[in-house]
Chain A
């Protein structure tokens, strides 16, 4: 058996003393899509922030517990920049950088030291295609990314995350501003990408988790209620009644 990509042990997160995530234990396997579902306030976004140590930039966010990436405890990492560059993140509110579309996607390769124009061109095209944005922007790569529509900016951030050539891709409600047809196209890409990389997918759409995730965790009010094979979750063998209620939309 291969070692898991990511191991989380006893992870707790608090903001200024208020604990929002309690004692999370889970493993994410290599080349898996790991789904996380749960209502607002469950701590899903905070969980992602802890994984790539963006928590370092939020002074009131305290993280305890162990996170191991490729077997390495991330608290012992020296080069956090290299670490973060191996993890692509897409947050729900798209932040198109104040650069052209092209430069938005070429930034990460440039930071890695890619200089040749051909190589960059090729990279930009590939990432934009994967994010299902290429057709819409191929004629105006040099206009500002922030002039795109909300859904297009969202896909731009996906392309940007992909341009990092990440080992782990974390998507936080990526389809929030994307229309259903385009969402399906991106989902197909994710299924393909799974062969190369590992994906953590936080989603509010339980059906999206069902379509994509190999295993799914259900977070509720800062606790991980249950982790199971996705099919099992949806076909009835849940351990916890609350999971069933949430999946079937009987919540509250």
Chain B
């Protein structure tokens, strides 16, 4: 009974081989991440302190903390989110739930996917032309955030659309059968079941926005500012740009400083990503079908 044939045994050997092979690939993949983190902590860990996070840079940015940059990044990301999330989610709902399946819709979808591939420096130039000059916002948080928003909008739209489309069509049909309108169906059945995916997409977008440098560099972020931003029409420092500056533009910076800045930046991003993963796991536990 259940004697393994030669063929069975061979299949099992092959199967083991593939498991090992793919396992190795995965290990290779996480290696760089570990090396980067390790180096950062080793070289910049000594910088991290409450003071470093909450004081201003001094002495030509060679000493002191990073508070204005940290605060600026929070500003930039928040305003960018305020602009991109409502717009992106609304567009995704329209495209997924209302738009008829015709060539125009398909063309729009294609355009959005392509927009996601536009290099960020191109978005930066667009931001300068549109927000700084044409709309007259000047170099400001508003202009920089809107540039970031435009850049991440396709990502929000695509991820939201995917979450919506993961909700089985049968649920919608069942609702329509009862005489529910499209909006009633979306509000009561589709959105509640897509919200975890939508939020995950948004958090991932936040983490991407946090690290961007090019789009903000000409539109609202400055090398150094003695003042903290007071509103969306002010310029601001930002972590990503600050890292670039202390690494390449300022002479005689102690070696640990850029590593410290990078560590804070990467920690912010990782924090946001783990939040997103944790959130997804929490909501998956409550999955409804």
Report A's interface with B, CB cutoff 8 A: 52, 54, 57, 59, 81-86, 88-89, 93, 95, 97-99, 107-108, 110-111, 144, 146, 157, 160-161, 164
Contact indicator A144/B179 (Cβ below 8 Å)? no
Residue of B at shortest CB range from A96? Answer: B289
Check B176–A57 contact: CB distance below 8 A: yes
Partner of A83, one of B171, B179, B180, B189: B179
Complex interface: chain B residues within 8 A of A85 (CB) = 178-179
Q: Which residues of A contact B193 (CB under 8 A)?
A: 98
Q: Would B189 and A98 count as touching, CB distance under 8 A? A: yes
With A59-B101, A144-B288, A146-B289 given, is the CB distance from A98 to B177 under 8 Å?
A: no
Contact of B39 with A by CB under 8 A: no
A-facing residues in B152-184 (Cβ within 8 Å): 170-171, 173-181, 184
In the complex, what distance in Å separates the CA atom of A9 from the CA atom of B175? 28
User: In the complex, A59 Cα to B288 Cα: how many Å?
Assistant: 29
CB–CB B176/A95 < 8 A: no
Known: A98-B289, A146-B289. A108 touches B170 (CB 8 A): no
Task: Return 18 A-B CB contacts under 8 Å, by A number.
Answer: A59-B101, A81-B180, A82-B179, A84-B179, A85-B178, A89-B177, A95-B174, A97-B174, A97-B175, A99-B189, A107-B180, A107-B188, A108-B178, A110-B188, A160-B178, A161-B178, A164-B178, A164-B179
Question: Which residue of chain A lies nearest to B175 when distances are taken between CB atoms in the complex?
Answer: A97
Interface residues of B, Cβ cutoff 8 Å to A = 101, 170-171, 173-181, 184, 188-189, 192-193, 288-289
Please give, as numbers and ranges, the residues of chain A lying within 8 Å of B174 by CB-CB distance: 95, 97, 157
Cβ distance B263 to chain A, nearest Cβ, rounded Å: 42
- Is A98 in contact with B171, judged by CB distance below 8 angstroms? yes
The chain B residue sitting closest to A88, CB to CB, is: B178
Residues of B within 8 A of A161 (CB): 178
B179 lies within 8 A of A111 (CB): yes
CA distance in complex: A95, B174 (Å): 7
**Least distance between B153 CB and chain A CB atoms (Å):** 29
- Whether A54 lies near B288 (C-beta < 8 A) is no
Q: Is the CB of B288 within 8 A of A98?
A: yes
What is the CA–CA distance of A160 and B180 in the complex, to the nearest angstrom? 13
Q: How far is the CA of A107 from the CA of B185 in the complex (A)?
A: 10
Q: Which of A52, A81, A88, A160 has the most CB of B within 10 A?
A: A81
- In whole Å, how far is B213's beta carbon from the nearest beta carbon of chain A? 42
Contact A95 B179 (CB under 8 A): no
Bound: A160/B181 CA distance, A: 17
Chain B residue at smallest Cβ distance from A161: B178
Within the assembled complex, what's the spacing in Å between the Cα atoms of A160 and B177? 11
Instruction: Evaluate contact between A146 and B288: CB separation under 8 angstroms.
Output: yes
Cα distance A93–B171 in the bound complex, in angstroms: 12
Q: What's the least CB distance linking B245 to chain A, in Å?
A: 50
